[in-house]
Amino acid sequence: MSRIRFETWVLFAAFLGSTLALAAGPRQWQSGKLMDTEQQKVTEGSTTTYHTDSETKYKNGKTNHSKDATARTTDDVDTYEVYTILGPDKTYVAREKLLFPWSKPANVTVGAEIKFAVEGKRLYILGDDQKEHKASVVKISVNQKE
């Protein structure tokens, strides 16, 4: 009985997830020009680790204790790829957080045409290899009309 109930909940969750994905609809891709890209390393805090060595010696019926404590502090650094995209009406600055040291930013070429979509504070970039990358919008400015 509980297995059937569990399977029902799994099916319901899958149905709900697919329904919400369809309700959002396909991304509204735009064409723009990639004006600039740079990698930023941002210190988000630090981590301190403590290591204590202790030693106990017995000599002539007496106990001597000694301790050696060391503290080591390392910076917690996050890596971001920052993109500046000139769209038809607006210029967007967005940054993609590279989650792991081996993560790669979008495969894009500065000065080339780029496909992107904006959904709220998220900007999606379609790389030259057709892989989709998600970035957070940092700044939006209106393009000057000539």
CB 30 within 8 A of CB 117: yes
Q: How many domains does the chain have?
A: 1
Average pLDDT, the chain: 84
Domain hosting 29: range is 2-142
Q: ∠ at Cα 94 (31, 112), nearest 5°?
A: 35
66-101 pLDDT per residue, tens? 778 888 888 888 999 999 999 999 999 999 999 988
Helix H or strand E encompassing 82:
strand 62-86
